Chains A and B, each alone.
Chain A
Amino acid sequence: GIQVEQSPPDLILQEGANSTLRCNFSDSVNNLQWFHQNPWGQLINLFYIPSGTKQNGRLSATTVATERYSLLYISSSQTTDSGVYFCAVGETSGSRLTFGEGTQLTVNP
């Protein structure tokens, strides 16, 4: 099956800093989603981005499908941005999502 690697595994920032999270995948995809898992476990949809670039407020994402990676940018980070960020991809051959191991982000005041 498809392999998904996220980096870095852990990231500690001061409030106001910017950060870039990376997701590499091993095969062609028809789906790529970024999620934020809050402390209660809820997965919040950030982006559905199998290709191209999207922006939503302080967050933006870029997927370069031909090179099999995606980047999530967080600008002017806030303490509420803390949590685990997951990248999940869907192979072109099916509908299942495969999750990366996540990036644990901690934003300190």
Chain B
Amino acid sequence: GAVVSQHPSWVICKSGTSVKIECRSLDFQATTMFWYRQFPKQSLMLMATSNEGSKATYEQGVEKDKFLINHASLTLSTLTVTSAHPEDSSFYICSARGPGSIYEQYFGPGTRLTVT
């Protein structure tokens, strides 16, 4: 149980275009999901907290107009990187609070974004 999926696994896009990444909880409902970013050889940094049916809460320094988050259902959150630039190239990972615990998080397999 507590499986989180992401799509796509990897994506290459041209500078200036937008990319959407999906995060799904497959066998449980998730009222809260989280989006992280990880640069090579570095740790994970929380970008935003996504709550079903309400606006996301962004961490300090994360541009909300650039990283659009939508959590329209209890099993799906999406992250759209708008007007992507090469510096947005990174590994994006989502997580969701698992069933039966208000704190424990389960992570998706990640999406590797390369902007050329």
Contact = CB atoms under 8 A, between A and B. Distances in A.
Interface in A37-82: 40-43, 45, 48, 50
Contacts of B49: 95-96
Contacts, number: 54
Interface string A12-52: 00000000000000000011010100001111010010100
Contact of B93 (A41, A45, A98, A102): A41
Contacts of A102: 43
Interface in B26-59: 32, 34, 38, 42-46, 49, 59
A70 to B, nearest CB: 15
Contacts of B102: 95
Nearest to B103: A31
Contacts of B105: 31, 33, 88, 97
A100 B104 contact: no
A35 B107 contact: yes
6 contacts: A31-B105, A41-B109, A43-B95, A95-B32, A98-B46, A100-B43
Given A42-B109, A99-B45, A100-B43, 16 more contacts: A30-B103, A31-B103, A31-B105, A33-B104, A33-B105, A35-B107, A41-B93, A41-B112, A45-B104, A48-B101, A86-B43, A95-B103, A96-B34, A96-B46, A97-B34, A101-B42
Interface of B: 32, 34, 38, 42-46, 49, 59, 91, 93, 95, 97, 101-107, 109-110, 112
